[in-house]
Amino acid sequence: MRFQPIATALAVGASAHLAQAAGLHDAAVAKGLLYFGSATDNPELSNTAYTTQLKNTADFGQITPGNSQKWDATEPSQNQFSFTKGDVVADLAAANGQKLRCHNLVWHQQLPNWVTSGSWTNETLTTVLKNHITNVVQHYKGKCYAWDVVNEALADDGSYRDSIWYKTIGEAYIPIAFEAAAAADPAAKLYYNDYSIEWAGAKSKAAQKIVQLIKSAGAKIDGVGLQGHFIVDQTPPRKDLASNLQSFVDLDVDVAYTELDVRMKTPATPANLQKQSTSFANVVGACLDTKRCVGITIWDWTDKYSWVPNTFSGYGAACPWDETFQKKPAYQGMMAVLGAASASASVSVAFTSASASASVAFTSASATPTSAISTPTPSSSAADFLPQPSAAAHIKAYFQCGGLNYKGSTSCASGLVCKKWNPYYHQCIQA
Ligand SMILES: *[C@@H]1O[C@H](CO)[C@@H](O)[C@H](O)[C@H]1NC(C)=O
């Protein structure tokens, strides 16, 4: 069992017929977690119905900028730093009293051309890496609860991804990055973040080795972020998720689910929405079962701004709120596992009261999550989850439209062009 704050425990005991928590964050904190949060970013922030719910701190005590702290946004030209868009999200977190998870410093995607097409030596690229980290982390010093320092260093088989970082610097780039981040903001929690490490297997083991590598180099790592881009019917059971979390905690680090969503074939069916609810509840439950699991971040809260339909053709409905901002069974499922629904039937009132109703027509891009493909559990067939090429799909602004191993549509919506940033990442941007 987790530590329960005394005030909450008393409140529960004193009036068990009342809802103990008005939302996901409140309920998570009552169970001893630090936060429940959501990704967001600049495009959707112009939708006031959206921002009304985003700043509902009963549900969200934490936010993550999906794109605007990434390298292409923060250092588009060498040593020319741009923090305008990242600051929008950092300022919003401060204004709302929400924790900020900062994301991310070193990744193989969304790198500007000057990085990917430069001819670097180990020494010159290490200088570039340290300079980027030092400047970005210093700019946000004191504002980030946590930084995803290195993102997705691993290929799906658990070997190192053949990124420019690995090719030029070797695995040493990882501890070097953590050292530079720690020097620039000693108080920020420093995370390694990846996908398909949510269940036991070669990739999870390899991520554990990364923790050991960083520690053995004498650098600081505080946590491992498990992205959690799951698929209905392919989300592992709660006990398997929890035992995998524990294998990281055993290395003396915190853990968090950092990009949680659960996609399904669209259109969504009532049966799949129910299964999705179970999946979300199992993930939240696994975090509750793990003493050093600090929190859960969903990869945006509404299907309206989910990355999923643009990345996995035929899939969607991956968030706990639908496109019209109505709560789905996944919301109730998480509230139930967080103990906010068990005291009384009357608690169900709490599920609908805080919902922001919205019918504002708005088209924009959502935060691009960091992973393109989440490997399923072994029981499923590949055809069920791999993104399928779809010539008809017109990709929205800021979504991926090409790059190494990308299998989705390459056709951008009207007014947009597919810009090749680097061999790994092409993005739809204004023509
Ligand atoms: C690059 O330099 C670092 C020291 O800064 C060293 O640890 C690493 O092994 C070198 N990598 C390669 C590929 O030589």
The DSSP code sequence of 292-317 is TEEEEEES-SBGGG-SHHHHSTTEE-
Same domain assignment for residues 418 and 272:
no
Residue 15 domain-assigned (yes or no): no
Residue 291 domain-assigned (yes or no): yes
Provide the annotated active-site residues.
152, 259
Q: How many structural domains does the chain have?
A: 2
**CA-based R_g, the chain, Å:** 20
Distance, first Cα to last Cα, the chain: 54
Residue 387 domain-assigned (yes or no): no
For residue 403, the model assigns a pLDDT of 72
CATH code where residue 38 lies? 3.20.20.80
pLDDT in tens, 181-195: 999 999 999 999 999
Same domain assignment for residues 163 and 245:
yes
At 50, phi and psi to the nearest 5?
-65, -50
Same domain assignment for residues 171 and 313:
yes
CA gap 152, 224 in Å, rounded: 11
Of how many residues is the chain composed?
A: 431
Query: Measuring from atom 10 of ligand 1, which residue has the nearest CA?
Result: 169
Residue 377 domain-assigned (yes or no): no
Same domain assignment for residues 292 and 423:
no
> Where are the alpha helices (H) located in 140-237, listed in sequence order?
164-169, 173-184, 202-216
CB atoms near residue 291 (< 10 Å) = 15
Dihedral of CA 139/142/144/149: which sign?
positive
At 225, phi and psi to the nearest 5?
-95, 125
CB atoms near residue 1 (< 10 Å) = 8
Residue 411 domain-assigned (yes or no): yes
pLDDT in tens, 274-307: 999 999 999 999 999 999 999 999 999 999 999 9
Query: Measuring from atom 7 of ligand 1, which residue has the nearest CA?
Result: 172
CA gap 49, 16 in Å, rounded: 32
Residue 106 domain-assigned (yes or no): yes
For residue 359, the model assigns a pLDDT of 29
Same domain assignment for residues 407 and 271:
no
Ligand 1 pocket, CB under 6 A: 122, 126, 169-170, 172
Which pair of structure tokens corresponds to residue 143? 């504002």
> Do 123 and 166 meet the contact criterion of CB atoms below 8 Å apart?
no
State which of 338, 367, 390 marks the end of a domain. Answer: 338
State which of 338, 372, 389 marks the end of a domain. Answer: 338
CA of 82 to the centre of ligand 1 (A): 29
Same domain assignment for residues 268 and 405:
no
Same domain assignment for residues 273 and 406:
no
At 275, phi and psi to the nearest 5?
-65, -35
Same domain assignment for residues 403 and 334:
no
For residue 419, the model assigns a pLDDT of 78
Same domain assignment for residues 255 and 404:
no
Query: Measuring from atom 6 of ligand 1, which residue has the nearest CA?
Result: 172
Rounded (10°) CA dihedral 9, 11, 12, 13 = 90
CA gap 258, 276 in Å, rounded: 18
Q: What is the pTM of this model?
A: 0.79
For residue 399, the model assigns a pLDDT of 67
Mutate to test the pocket of ligand 1, among 169, 174, 176 (most ligand atoms within 8 A of CB): 169
- The owner of tokens 């092409």 is 426
SS3 string, 113-158, reads HHHHCCCCCHHHHHHHHHHHHHHHHHHCCCCCCEEEEEECCECCCC
CA of 138 to the centre of ligand 1 (A): 25
Domain span including residue 410: 399-430
State which of 338, 365, 383 marks the end of a domain. Answer: 338
Query: Measuring from atom 4 of ligand 1, which residue has the nearest CA?
Result: 172
Same domain assignment for residues 332 and 416:
no
Which pair of structure tokens corresponds to residue 244? 């995998």
CA of 122 to the centre of ligand 1 (A): 6
Same domain assignment for residues 416 and 315:
no
CA gap 337, 280 in Å, rounded: 9
CA of 217 to the centre of ligand 1 (A): 13
Same domain assignment for residues 332 and 412:
no
Flag residues of the chain having pLDDT under 50. Answer: 1, 4-19, 342-367, 371-392
For residue 2, the model assigns a pLDDT of 53
CA gap 350, 373 in Å, rounded: 35
Which pair of structure tokens corresponds to residue 413? 């919506």
Peptide bond into 104 cis (omega under 30): yes
- In ligand 1, which atom is closest to the CA atom of 170? 13
Residue 194 domain-assigned (yes or no): yes
